[in-house]
Structure 1
Amino acid sequence: MAVRINKELPSPAELKKEYPLSDKLKNIKEKRDEMIKDVFAGKSDKFLVIVGPCSADNEDAVCEYVNRLARVNEEVEDRLILIPRIYTNKPRTTGEGYKGMLHQPDPEKAPDLYAGILSIRKMHLRAMEETGLTAADEMLYPENRSYLDDILSYEAIGARSVENQQHRLTASGMDIPVGMKNPTSGNLEVMLNSIVAAQKGHRYIYRGMDVSTSGNPYAHAILRGGVDKYGTCIPNYHYEDCIRLYDLYQKKDLENPAIIVDANHSNSNKKFKEQIRITSEILHSRRYNPALKDMIKGVMIESYLEEGRQDICDHMTYGKSITDPCLGWDDTRDLILKIAEEC
């Protein structure tokens, strides 16, 4: 076989024992989890803002960003729940490029997955300890989530993964909200089928075990735009798109119907400044239609300390994305305050 074993990795249980969650952090996570679940269950009218770098590439920069976010959170916590994006795995369309801190804890050095699983757990723990905010990550590799499943309060399944059976089955066993993105084609039925699968219980093989799940009632939709056969981005955040998804939801027997709108990716055509305008349009749609106000539970925004993006090199700018371009901090803070006023 064309496979070479580089190193035996510790099990999730071993890693958690080495870098445990303190009782204080367990209590913080429990409270945050319930706050976020209450939004999806309709028990809270707070608006979710899942915001942060496209990819977490530097522990110090990420933790500085989350500390700034925590200070803004104090100003808006009566209206918003801020969930920092600490995305440690990155899907690559062609398989090339930076795959996230799990693979490359230092973007300028060779991949090291042993160092990677240690670095991502330490970074998530540090962010929680310093700010009291629990984070979101992407479930790119279902079996890898076990290294962080006691830390995260929200997970997303990406456009390239949402049709994968293992992702759907694993989502059905999560005890936190999980967002299912529409696939890159933009097909909403595929996304809804994934939500149906995630909300049902299943029996399958997971990390060498025969496991059963009870289903995840907080599985929901994330609109991220699509791409047509010519490679043109087709946004799906407009009022008509949200109404269409609302109508499709009514035909499914699903618990806690909910939409999160991703303001970047194919909705913005990766024109990162457009996220400001797109978010404003989403808020307007919610104000205009009470049904959408109930169903659209939040937005997903990509931002970092410095705006834009950069290539990996020997003179990188601290706090600037090395994957998709992001909003800078000043625009981010202004946008969060605006959301709090208008949601």
Structure 2
Amino acid sequence: MKQTENLNIKRFNPIISPEDLKQIFPLDGKTADFVLSSRQQIKDILYRRDQRLMVVVGPCSIHDPKAALEYADHLAQLKAEVQDKLYLVMRVYFEKPRTNVGWKGLINDPELNGTHPISKGLGLARQLLCNINSRGVAVANEVLDPIAPHFLADLISWGAIGARTTESQTHREMASGLSFPVGFKNSTDGNIKIALDAISTAARPHSFMGINRKGTISIVETTGNPDTHIVLRGGHDRPNYFPEDIEKVESLLKKANQKQTIMVDCSHGNSCKDYKQQHQVLSQVVDQRLQGNRSIRGIMIESNLNAGNQPLHNDVSKLKYGVSVTDACLDWESTRLMLLKAAKRLGEVKS
């Protein structure tokens, strides 16, 4: 019989099941309580029961778990200093969507050399999430591969659907079943309607093909996720975080019968892809809060131990410690001072 399928498949390699990985890196009771508490605090911020500003801050992507833990330690210390006005959540992104080709993240290629031992990547990712949560730092994660949440979602407090996948039916369905709040970014060209449609779609029940804890192919039936919102990240030609932009989005949300809940990404299109300009975006957001705006509930900042970024080398030992291998990031000290200043200014807001 002539073969008509898998003509472009090199091989199938079995992967560890979610259930087996969770036995290796279990979720203990204390960590579970922390994750649930963190999710609730985020919901309280999104629904205006908590007037703090949520800050998702951390590396563009995680490629070195050791450096990530050092960053988490810094963040835990800063969290205690600004907790009255800011709620800090660490950006811990293991997957990177690609317009063309490139490194796809720690899960897909943990050794940074194109060998793709994905089971190892999943183990490193889960172990890191356990360690970060144990430090009292909540985790934010971009959800890209629809299978990945089965391995990691119990340790995540907030999730993002990126600009390239917000329009995807698969990701909208997936978000409808996630157990934590999810932010949908506007598209890379600045289109807002795509994110509004995603929010509405993810709030509804869905049935689709997926896997269960044992890794068995299953029909996944969801109830819908009510805790979704928009993330403004700018577009190709202009930012979209200025007061007139926020007012426009507020109007669109109202028209669509959606919550007046907005997060502003200080990076990407809003900083014109210049990581050094993120502080200007944050300053403008704080200005709007001081002027009485309450729809902006959170911000995102790309930050690492050290500033800038670097290309991947064939010899990974030559990589600079604490420097991004994807988008350029602010260094930690600049981030710390920027957030301390924001917290001080927000102290002027009357509750």
TM-score by length of 2: 0.92
State whether structure 2 residue 168 is matched by structure 1 residue 164.
yes
The equivalent residue for 2:151 is 147
The equivalent residue for 2:111 is 106
Match of 2:69 among 63, 86, 92: 63
RMSD: 1.3
Specify the SS of the correspondent of 1:321. Answer: coil
Q: Is the 8 A contact 1:58 1:106 kept in 2?
A: no
Identity score, percent:
36
> More deviation in 9-18 or 59-68?
9-18
> More deviation in 305-314 or 3-12?
3-12
Separation in 1 of the partners of 2:84 and 2:137?
Answer: 15
Q: Deviations over 1:39-80 (max 9, x none)?
A: 112211111000000000100000000100000001011211
Separation in 1 of the partners of 2:223 and 2:86?
Answer: 30
The equivalent residue for 1:230 is none
The equivalent residue for 2:219 is 210
Match of 2:340 among 332, 337, 342: 337
The equivalent residue for 2:99 is 93
Separation in 1 of the partners of 2:325 and 2:190?
Answer: 26
Separation in 1 of the partners of 2:163 and 2:114?
Answer: 28
Specify the SS of the correspondent of 1:277. Answer: helix
Q: Is the 8 A contact 2:303 2:332 kept in 1?
A: yes
Separation in 1 of the partners of 2:114 and 2:185?
Answer: 31
The equivalent residue for 1:327 is 330
Q: Please report how far the alpha carbon of residue 257 of structure 1 lies from its aligned counterpart in structure 2 after TM superposition.
A: 2.8
Q: Please report how far the alpha carbon of residue 327 of structure 1 lies from its aligned counterpart in structure 2 after TM superposition.
A: 0.2
Match of 2:276 among 269, 273, 277: 273
Match of 1:316 among 315, 319, 323: 319
Q: Is the 8 A contact 1:15 1:147 kept in 2?
A: yes
State whether structure 2 residue 58 is matched by structure 1 residue 52.
yes
The equivalent residue for 1:251 is 255
The equivalent residue for 2:3 is none
Counterpart residue identity of residue 71, structure 2? Y
| Matched residues, number | 332
Specify the SS of the correspondent of 1:306. Answer: coil
State whether structure 2 residue 303 is matched by structure 1 residue 298.
no
Q: Deviations over 1:96-121 (max 9, x none)?
A: 11111001212246322121111111
The equivalent residue for 2:180 is 176
Q: Is the 8 A contact 2:107 2:118 kept in 1?
A: yes
Specify the SS of the correspondent of 1:142. Answer: coil
State whether structure 2 residue 232 is matched by structure 1 residue 223.
yes
Separation in 2 of the partners of 1:56 and 1:328?
Answer: 15
The equivalent residue for 2:205 is 201
Counterpart residue identity of residue 84, structure 1? M
Counterpart residue identity of residue 168, structure 1? R
Q: Is the 8 A contact 1:305 1:328 kept in 2?
A: yes
Specify the SS of the correspondent of 2:148. Answer: helix
Separation in 2 of the partners of 1:175 and 1:307?
Answer: 34
Specify the SS of the correspondent of 2:154. Answer: coil
State whether structure 2 residue 22 is matched by structure 1 residue 16.
yes
Counterpart residue identity of residue 144, structure 2? L
Separation in 2 of the partners of 1:29 and 1:141?
Answer: 22
Q: Deviations over 1:227-283 (max 9, x none)?
A: 2xxxxx3211111111110110110122x3311100101111220010001110111
Separation in 2 of the partners of 1:106 and 1:81?
Answer: 33
